[in-house]
C-alpha cells in the first residue's frame, strides 16, 4: 500500500491525463475516407478490418498482383482500435515468445522463428520502400527480472544476459535484478503512423478504402460472396479476407475461439534532459518485465514513456464497450508501479490514459482458416503481438485464398486450431480464476498452483 502523500502524488500525476489514445490524439490525423455509397459495389478481393491485419493483407495483395481489384473496409476509422492503441512493439515472434512456441510446436519452432525474423526484416524493408514515417527503430527488447526467481530464467533466455550492474547501467531502476537484451527481435514504431502510412501505400497501389462501412452479414451466392453493410449497400466479392481482431467474427462458428481482453496504458509528458539522464536508456530498447502479469514500456520520439500492461481484464459476455476503455483503478495501479520502477521521476505527470481490447485465443497466438469453399480466409487471436505478426497473417490469408501450397500453409501451426473457450458463465469463471492464479504465482516466487498446472497439462497454459 502507498501512503497518503503517495496517493496524493498519484492523483496529481493523473489529474490532467487525456482519456484517449496518445497515438491517435493528434491534429495531423488523416481525414476519414468516404464510406461505400452503393447501392451495389463489386470487388475481386474484399478485406474487412482496416487495422494492421487488413492493411497488410490489402497491400500484399496488390504487391502480388497489381491488377487485382481490392476493397478495404472498416466499420470505424483506419487503425482506431487495437492497431492504434498498442505499445508499438513490433516483434519477430509469431508464437508469443520462444517458450510458448516450443511448447506447442517443438518440431517446427525453428522454422517459425526463421519465418518470424524474415517477416520483421520485410516490415523494415516495406517501411523504407514506401517512406512510411513511423519512427521505426530496431532497438530490440530488454527483458528484466524484478524478483530473484526470475534471474535464472533470464540467464537461459535468448539474448545477451545482463547482471544487476549491467542492466541498471542500461536503464536505472532500483527494481531490476538482471536482464536479457535480445538485440534484433523487436522494433519500436509509432503504430498509428504505421497504420496511416500503410493506408497511403494501399491507396497509391490502387486499393479502394472505405471507412465507416460496417459489414453486417456474409452470404454465399453463385461464384461470389454477398456482403451487406449497415447502410444497406451490397458488395459482391469473389474473395474475402477477415481481419476483425477482437470484434465478433462474421463467421459465427469462430466466435467461441477468441475472447476480448482489455489492456490499459499510460503515457507520460515528455521527459526533460535531466529526467532522461537520470534513467539512462541510451539504447532506447523496448522493455518488458518477467512477471506473469507483466508491464511493457518504451520511449517515444519526443521522449515520453509509454507504460502499459499488468492488469488485463475480461468482461463477462465477451463484451466490447467504449466505457471499458477507461478504468481509474487500473490507471492508479499502473501509476503506482511506474513510480516504484522509476522513483527518480517523482513529479512527472501523465498526459494520456486509455485502454482497448486484445483478441486472445487458448494458444495465445494467431490461428487461421478458410470458409465458403475457400473463398474466405481469416486470421484471429494475435494476443497482443499483432503489430508484427499481422503481416505474416496477411500472407497466410492470401496463400489460403490462392489455393497453392506454400511453406506457410504447410505449417502445422497454420493448419491447426486452438481449443475454443467455453460459453458463459464458464468462460468468465475460468478466465478470472486464471488471472487470480497468475497473480498468486507472482507473489509466491513463480510457483504455479494446481489450477495453472492443470492448464499446463491440458496444453492451455502460458508463462509470459
Could you report the per-residue pLDDT of 117-133, keeping only the tens digit for each? Answer: 999 999 999 999 999 99
Residue 349 lies in a domain: yes
pLDDT over threshold 90, residue 458: no
Could you report the per-residue pLDDT of 67-84, keeping only the tens digit for each? Answer: 999 999 999 999 999 999
380 and 401 part of one domain? yes
265 and 180 part of one domain? yes
170 and 228 part of one domain? no
pLDDT over threshold 70, residue 244: yes
15 and 48 part of one domain? no
Residue 275 lies in a domain: yes
pLDDT band at 3 (very low <50, low <70, confident <90, very high): low
User: Domain end: 319, 342, 359, which one?
Assistant: 359
Residue 33 lies in a domain: no
Q: How many domains does the chain have?
A: 3
- CA distances (Å), 398 to each of 45, 106, 227, in order? 10, 26, 19
Residue 208 lies in a domain: yes
322 and 348 part of one domain? yes
The proportion of the chain whose per-residue pLDDT surpasses 90, expressed as a percent, equals: 89
Q: What is the CATH number of the domain that holds 368?
A: 3.50.50.60
Window from 52-56, 154-158, 344-348, 379-383 with minimum mean pLDDT: 154-158
Query: What local confidence, expressed as pLDDT, does residue 4 receive?
Result: 46
Residue 31 lies in a domain: no
441 and 315 part of one domain? no
Q: Which structural domain range is residue 436 located in?
A: 426-457
Residue 463 lies in a domain: no
Q: What is the CATH number of the domain that holds 165?
A: 3.30.9.10
Mean pLDDT in residue range 247-275: 97
103 and 196 part of one domain? yes
Query: What local confidence, expressed as pLDDT, does residue 192 receive?
Result: 98
Query: What local confidence, expressed as pLDDT, does residue 463 receive?
Result: 56
Could you report the per-residue pLDDT of 151-166, keeping only the tens digit for each? Answer: 999 999 989 999 999 9
49 and 110 part of one domain? yes
Estimate to the nearest angstrom the gap between the alpha carbon of 168 and the chain centroid.
Answer: 28
Residue 464 lies in a domain: no
Query: What local confidence, expressed as pLDDT, does residue 190 receive?
Result: 98
272 and 407 part of one domain? no
Could you report the per-residue pLDDT of 263-308, keeping only the tens digit for each? Answer: 999 999 999 999 999 999 999 999 999 988 999 999 999 999 999 9
Residue 332 lies in a domain: yes
Query: What local confidence, expressed as pLDDT, does residue 1 receive?
Result: 45
Mean pLDDT in residue range 47-54: 98
Query: What local confidence, expressed as pLDDT, does residue 444 receive?
Result: 77
Distance in angstroms (rounded) separating the CA atoms of residues 50 and 80: 9
Query: What local confidence, expressed as pLDDT, does residue 227 receive?
Result: 98
Query: What local confidence, expressed as pLDDT, does residue 445 receive?
Result: 82
Q: Which of 105, 118, 114 is nearest to 364 (CA)?
A: 105
The proportion of the chain whose per-residue pLDDT surpasses 70, expressed as a percent, equals: 98
Q: Mean pLDDT in the chain?
A: 95
253 and 382 part of one domain? yes
pLDDT over threshold 80, residue 460: no
pLDDT over threshold 60, residue 50: yes
83 and 196 part of one domain? yes
163 and 20 part of one domain? yes
Could you report the per-residue pLDDT of 379-428, keeping only the tens digit for each? Answer: 999 999 999 999 999 999 999 999 999 999 999 999 999 999 999 999 99
Amino acid at each position: 500500500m502507498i501512503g497518503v502523500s503517495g496517493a496524493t502524488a498519484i492523483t496529481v500525476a493523473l489529474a490532467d491525463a487525456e482519456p484517449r489514445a496518445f497515438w491517435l490524439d493528434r491534429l495531423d490525423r488523416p481525414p476519414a475516407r468516404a464510406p461505400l455509397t452503393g447501392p451495389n459495389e463489386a470487388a475481386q478481393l474484399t478485406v474487412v478490418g482496416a487495422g494492421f491485419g487488413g492493411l497488410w493483407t490489402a497491400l500484399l495483395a496488390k504487391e502480388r498482383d497489381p491488377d487485382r481489384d481490392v476493397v478495404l473496409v472498416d466499420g470505424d476509422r483506419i487503425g482506431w482500435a487495437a492497431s492504434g492503441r498498442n505499445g508499438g512493439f513490433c516483434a519477430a515472434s509469431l508464437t508469443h515468445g520462444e517458450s510458448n512456441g516450443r511448447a506447442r510446436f517443438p518440431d517446427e519452432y525453428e522454422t517459425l522463428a526463421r519465418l518470424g525474423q524474415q517477416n520483421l526484416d520485410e516490415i523494415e524493408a516495406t517501411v523504407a520502400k514506401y517512406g512510411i514515417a513511423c519512427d521505426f527503430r530496431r532497438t530490440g527488447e530488454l527483458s528484466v527480472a524484478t524478483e530473484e526467481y526470475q534471474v535464472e530464467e533470464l540467464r537461459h533466455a535468448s539474448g545477451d544476459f545482463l547482471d544487476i550492474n549491467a542492466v541498471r547501467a542500461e536503464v536505472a531502476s532500483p527494481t531490476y535484478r538482471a536482464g536479457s537484451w535480445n538485440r534484433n527481435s523487436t522494433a519500436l514504431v509509432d503504430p498509428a503512423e504505421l497504420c496511416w502510412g500503410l493506408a497511403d501505400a494501399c491507396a497509391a497501389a490502387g486499393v479502394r478504402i472505405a471507412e465507416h462501412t460496417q459489414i453486417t452479414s456474409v452470404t454465399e451466392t453463385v461464384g461470389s460472396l454477398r456482403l451487406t453493410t449497415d447502410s444497406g449497400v451490397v458488395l459482391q466479392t469473389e474473395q474475402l479476407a477477415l481481419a476483425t481482431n477482437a470484434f465478433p467474427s462474421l463467421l459465427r462458428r469462430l466466435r467461441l475461439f477468441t475472447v476480448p481482453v482489455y489492456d490499459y496504458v499510460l503515457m507520460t509528458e515528455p521527459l526533460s534532459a535531466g529526467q532522461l539522464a537520470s534513467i539512462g536508456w541510451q539504447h532506447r530498447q523496448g522493455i518488458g518485465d518477467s512477471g506473469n502479469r507483466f508491464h511493457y514500456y518504451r520511449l517515444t520520439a519526443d521522449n515520453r514513456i509509454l507504460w502499459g500492461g499488468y492488469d488485463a481484464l475480461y468482461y463477462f459476455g465477451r463484451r466490447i464497450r467504449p466505457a471499458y476503455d477507461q478504468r481509474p483503478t487500473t490507471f492508479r495501479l499502473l501509476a503506482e508501479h511506474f513510480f516504484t520502477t522509476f522513483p527518480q521521476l517523482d513529479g512527472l505527470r501523465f498526459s494520456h490514459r486509455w485502454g482497448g481490447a486484445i483478441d486472445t485465443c487458448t494458444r495465445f497466438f494467431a490461428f487461421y482458416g478458410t470458409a465458403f469453399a475457400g473463398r474466405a480466409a481469416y486470421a484471429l487471436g494475435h494476443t497482443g503481438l499483432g503489430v508484427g505478426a499481422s503481416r505474416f497473417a496477411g500472407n497466410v490469408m492470401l496463400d489460403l485464398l490462392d489455393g497453392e501450397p506454400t511453406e506457410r500453409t504447410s505449417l502445422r501451426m497454420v493448419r491447426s486450431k486452438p481449443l475454443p473457450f467455453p460459453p458463459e458463465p464458464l468462460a468468465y469463471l475460468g478466465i478470472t480464476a486464471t488471472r487470480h492464479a497468475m497473480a498468486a504465482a507472482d507473489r509466491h516466487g513463480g510457483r504455479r498452483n494446481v489450477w495453472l498446472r492443470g492448464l499446463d497439462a491440458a496444453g492451455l497454459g502460458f508463462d509470459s
